[in-house]
Amino acid sequence: MGAEEVPSVPFSSNAMDNADYTDTELVHAVRKALASVQNGDTDDYSQLKTVMCHKDYSDFDAVANYDFDAVAQLETVLRILSVSVACIDVVHHEDLLRTIFGMSLWFQKPNVMDALVGLIISLAVISGKYLDPCLNMLISNFIQPNFKHEVSQTQLVKKKQEVLPRVHVALHKISYLIPLAPSKLVPILAQNMPSIYEKGPSVVTYVDNLLKLENSSIGKVVGSVILMMVMERMRDLDLEIGCDDILQDDSNRGMFDMELEDAVESTMNEGDEFPVGDLKQNTSGGNVVSELLDKLMVLFFDHLESCQNSGRLDEVFEILFQSFENYILNTYRSKFSQFLMFYACSLDPEYCGVRFASKLLDIYLSRNKPRLTRMSAVAYLASYLSRGKFLPASFVASMLKRLVDDCAEYCKTCNDDVKPEAHQVFYSGCQAILYVLCFQMRSILDIPRFQLQLTSLESILSHKLNPLMVCLPSVVSEFLKQAKAGGLFIVSEAFIFDDLHESELSRAFGGFERLDTFFPFDPCLLKMSSSYISPNFNFWLMEKTTYEEDDDDELCDEVIVNGDADSEEDCDDDVELDSEMNKMFVTPKHSFMQETERLLKMPSRIRPSTSPPESFLI
């Protein structure tokens, strides 16, 4: 006896609703409609496409507007197609496939989402020619679409909770069934990344889901690509925040004065640990970009915490540094994206914190690296050693010793007089040493053996290359002031400790601004990001210099932070403190300095990392 013949049921939308038809009969009807196309009979197939080309429905629509029959028909057809994928032909059913791959989960009800995801998984598994479009369809749902009607935050959160987990489950099922699938994701992830001109929530949603992929089994294959992709996008957004989008300060104030005065002017809310600056409102879109970058950085910070909790941070750090070296280290005007590295180091000082400084120093000391790369690396190193509260004094001292030894060796082989353009790398190293000591001198001098490691510094500064006349005057002035008070040098008469005036040689690079203004880890002004950075960040306000007394420091710090007039009257040394702060920087006195005034407009506390003008990129 042969198999029982299935009754022939013509495909129609009514057939999908007819309770008299069995599931087997409906499957047969759909498969017959698919097969009829090859025989030139397209009536049933056209009916099938009509059901597929439905109006998009979502939970945001009023219930009264639902066509429940159409939704049920669509769900039924999708479920039947998922068990009939062998009957779908890439040529004859091209328009049907185009409709399937163009459907968005965001506009479907949950039961339709499940049916559609099931179909996509079946198509991906049945044939390699469907794998790429299936993966692309799923990844495209990482992007939050624009809804026709206003959507409340509650509705949006609910929809995300319905859509995004289904996408991740589908990707992991496909990857499990087809081991090569994750490698196929690399170009698809890049292709679907929202444009740099897209400033809406879609970028945040997309990056959030990329990071979730990186933290999954799929990340073992595409994790490095994802991290680099995200860091590159953050760098691009960072570059869109121009100097005019940031609050500007008087260029005549010294870099240390600025941070102190800005702390006085800032209003601290109850529970705030440190005062945080802000980006100014404008109509150019800069503030929108800064808010977007702030959200993305917080996502990345949370991801790094997750990596630390799962024991993956060491592995992820190596990829981060590679991305940092490729996209940020030599980037012109990077202001905030570098703090991803700072936060990773603060989470794991013993490994990431040490590795970051060591890698930067190795780049600086490498004679095979480009000159500008070496200068960038040592500038990052100086700012990092100065600002990282999590770095022990012993480690900072060891890094300084290697810098001092290199500069001392350079002096032994060089007989030139002051030639800034000829010895830019050397002067950058010297300024890095001075800058770090402005922050760390007191902790270094407290340990005699740390001080002994800097014995060569005096010979470097007294060499006829005369780095004190080339480095940034406010750094030199603060360094000499602390060196005198702390007794850093035995022969202190070798240097001018008082009434230091800004030398023309300090700007002798003919517009080359990097040596003067490159302090990449000055306080971060992105509000949410700053809350992650501040607990592990050395603010100048909190630093103890060699010329300050402990008791007076505490009292005067209270005056500065709280701005209490009564407390100021109780601080006998407040006038003296103001006087000392004013000596940190000397107003430019030379007429030619006015030509570089534009370059000094941005306050040091937020001064972006900069590259030299194109004329120097030889």
Residue 246 has φ and ψ, to the nearest 5°, of -115, 140
Greater pLDDT, 443 or 600: 443
Residue 277 has φ and ψ, to the nearest 5°, of -75, -170
The neighbour count for residue 581, using CB atoms within 10 Å, is 16
Percentage of the residues of the chain whose pLDDT score is greater than 90: 52
Instruction: Give the residue-averaged pLDDT of 213-232.
Output: 96
pLDDT of residue 300: 98
pLDDT of residue 491: 47
Instruction: Give the residue-averaged pLDDT of 473-491.
Output: 84
Greater pLDDT, 1 or 262: 262
Q: Are 612 and 515 in contact (CB under 8 A)?
A: no
For residue range 152-183, what is the model confidence (pLDDT) as tens digits? 889 899 999 999 999 999 999 999 999 999 99
Instruction: Give the residue-averaged pLDDT of 521-526.
Output: 93
Q: How confident is the model at residue 294 (pLDDT cuts 50, 70, 90)?
A: very high
pLDDT greater than 70 at residue 254 = no
pLDDT of residue 346: 98
**Per-residue DSSP letter, 608:** P
Taking CA atoms, 580 is separated from 304, 498, 547, in Å, by 41, 11, 10
For residue range 346-358, what is the model confidence (pLDDT) as tens digits? 999 999 999 999 9
pLDDT of residue 17: 52
Residue 397 has φ and ψ, to the nearest 5°, of -65, -40
Q: How confident is the model at residue 131 (pLDDT cuts 50, 70, 90)?
A: very high
Q: How confident is the model at residue 55 (pLDDT cuts 50, 70, 90)?
A: low
pLDDT of residue 543: 77
Q: Are 522 and 608 in contact (CB under 8 A)?
A: no
Residue 378 amino acid letter: V
Angle between helices 23-36 and 43-52 (to 10 degrees): 110
Closest C-alpha among 369, 371, 367, 349 to residue 358 = 349
Highest mean pLDDT among 51-65, 80-94, 278-292, 381-395: 381-395
pLDDT of residue 6: 46
The mean pLDDT value of the chain amounts to 79
User: Which region among 132-146, 297-311, 586-600 has the lowest average model confidence (pLDDT)?
Assistant: 586-600
Q: How confident is the model at residue 262 (pLDDT cuts 50, 70, 90)?
A: low
pLDDT greater than 80 at residue 32 = yes
For residue range 272-283, what is the model confidence (pLDDT) as tens digits? 444 444 454 443
Q: How confident is the model at residue 316 (pLDDT cuts 50, 70, 90)?
A: very high
Taking CA atoms, 525 is separated from 245, 261, 305, 530, in Å, by 11, 15, 21, 7
Q: What is the separation of C-alpha 544 from the centre of its chain, rounded to a whole number of angstroms? A: 31
pLDDT greater than 50 at residue 572 = no
Angle between helices 43-52 and 68-82 (to 10 degrees): 110
Say which residues have a Cβ less than 8 Å from residue 577's Cβ, sequence separation at least 6.
552, 556, 571
pLDDT of residue 286: 58
Q: Are 159 and 113 in contact (CB under 8 A)?
A: no
pLDDT of residue 40: 80
| Whole-prediction pTM | 0.80
Q: How confident is the model at residue 255 (pLDDT cuts 50, 70, 90)?
A: low
Q: How far is 180 from 176, CA to CA, in rounded Å? A: 9
